[in-house]
Structure 1
Amino acid sequence: MLRICSLFVAMLVALPLWAAQPEIAGAPRIIDGDTLEVAGQRIRLGGIDAPEMREQCQDAFGQKWPCGSWAKEAAKAMLAGHKLRCVDLGQRSYDRVVGRCYLDGRDIAVDLIEAGVARVCLRFAREQGQEQTYLNAEQRAVKARAGVFSGPLNPVAGFCAASTASAQHVAPVVPPAPDCAIKGNVSSNGRIYHLPGQRHYDQVTMRGSETRWFCTEDQAQAAGWRRALR
């Protein structure tokens, strides 16, 4: 009997998320970069955040572009006409289901992040157990300078902050731009910044109010930080 129960539990663990929860399935209607309508149900994708429809971004040359409307069209090109399988994560956002949707078994949020359509909404990605998966996708998007990652990032939505600290005091966990990869943190030795390639660079986790990204050493030093010795 114990072996049978253990086997049953193992089978449940192996099942994908959508197999264990009520399913919403169908071809999506794209509302914006992070909101869909499937089978008459409006779904806000959990753990990510796309630009608002009228939001403007800057490219690598400082030129403004309509990233909000672009995000909608990019999501439509990726998803329209395909059948999605979505699950309700048990939360609500302005009367929308907060859900996770799959295309051929793959979480579409990962694809949206990698395409630069959306960014990680750290607070909810963490609560929903997708933090590292989505951060890895975001790092790939930053490296490729995809979509919104092609230039300086707009401030992340305040509700995405992973702590009670104000969002403007919480550093993003990836650089705000590909050329702004100097890590600053506060330790017992004071305010120290680390350059890519230095010994402890990869050990500095950019979380919380005691971290800050810099684009140049001059910028870091002007803000009162000093270079790490190694």
Structure 2
Amino acid sequence: MFIKSPVRHPSRTSVGVATLVIALFPLVVHALPGDDGQPAIISGIGHVVDGDTLDVGATRIRLEGIDAPEIAQTCQTASGETWNCGVAAAAMLRKLAEHRDLMCERKGTDRYRRVLATCFADGVDIDEAMVRVGLAWAFVRYSKRYVAVETEARSARVGVWQGAAEAPWDFRHNEWQVAETSAPKGCAIKGNVSSRGRIFHMPWDPWYDRVKMEPGKGKRWFCSEQEAIEAGWRPASAN
């Protein structure tokens, strides 16, 4: 993975998080029917994609009520030093969820077909833990569940709250605006073809600028994530 600058983990992000037990069980996904016929509970071994997205078995889950900095995103310490808050967020989620036995409560499905869920590991609310250590915002556009937790993190000046930081939704909006000025018809998502398969890259991905578009090699532009997914491409992962 291409990262422009070394990761500098701020000492104050190490807020205590309950110790999680590594599961020794084989990969299994359990589904209990919800009122709409969709799984109400999804459980299995977690595999982290980025700071707020993970796979539980074959199910892609977007943690509900939070928004973590993107992998390419940087923040500042109180002294103005730059650190890779997006990389730190993904690392924290790996600490909380990677190869752990998770239980996720389904809240719905987003427009990209990801399950929206609150996930737990050994009784710890992972969504809340990310906000508590200052490595995710309460995603107030969709939920106010973690607003009080964010207020505590702000007061403690941990994680992104120790210095200047751009909300991830603003970061994505700004990166898209820059990318669409040079993309055909404003369709700024790059669909790459490599030995890892067909993968699409959003303008805020850290390796977006390294993808050279060559239509003769099967690469193509997309106007939306939904379009890319329906065409058979999958999103780039932090791993």
TM-score range, shorter chain: 0.5 to 0.7
Q: State the alpha-carbon separation in 2 of the partners of residues 58 and 106 from structure 1.
A: 28
1:154 equivalent in alignment to 2:172: no
Percent pairwise identity: 37
Question: Which is higher, the Rg of structure 1 or of structure 2?
Answer: 1
Structure 1 residues 20, 140: closer, same or farther in 2, change over 3 A?
farther
| Alignment counterpart, residue 135 of structure 1, candidates 139, 144, 147 | 147
The residue aligned with 1:199 is none
The residue aligned with 1:35 is 53
| Alignment counterpart, residue 45 of structure 1, candidates 48, 63, 67 | 63
- Matched position secondary structure for 1:27: strand
Checking the alignment, whether the CA contact within 8 Å between 1:75 and 1:117 is kept in structure 2 is no
Q: State the alpha-carbon separation in 2 of the partners of residues 82 and 76 from structure 1.
A: 9
Q: State the alpha-carbon separation in 2 of the partners of residues 93 and 68 from structure 1.
A: 23
1:56 equivalent in alignment to 2:74: yes
Of Structure 1 and Structure 2, which has the larger fraction of its residues in helix? 1
| Alignment counterpart, residue 101 of structure 2, candidates 80, 83, 86 | 83
Q: State the alpha-carbon separation in 2 of the partners of residues 80 and 154 from structure 1.
A: 26
Of structures 1 and 2, the one with the larger relative CO (CA 8 A, separation 6+) is 2
Q: Deviations over 1:74-127 (max 9, x none)?
A: 1111222321111322222423211221223442111110011211010211xx
Q: Which stretches in structure 1 are left out of the alignment for 5+ residues? A: 1-17, 126-130, 160-230
Runs of 4+ in 1 over 3 A off after TM superposition: 18-21
> Post-superposition shift, 1:59?
1.1
- Matched position secondary structure for 1:117: coil
Q: Which amino acid aligns with 2:98?
A: A
Structure 1 residues 50, 89: closer, same or farther in 2, change over 3 A?
same
Q: Which amino acid aligns with 1:41?
A: T
1:73 equivalent in alignment to 2:91: yes
Q: Deviations over 1:50-75 (max 9, x none)?
A: 01110111111111111111110111
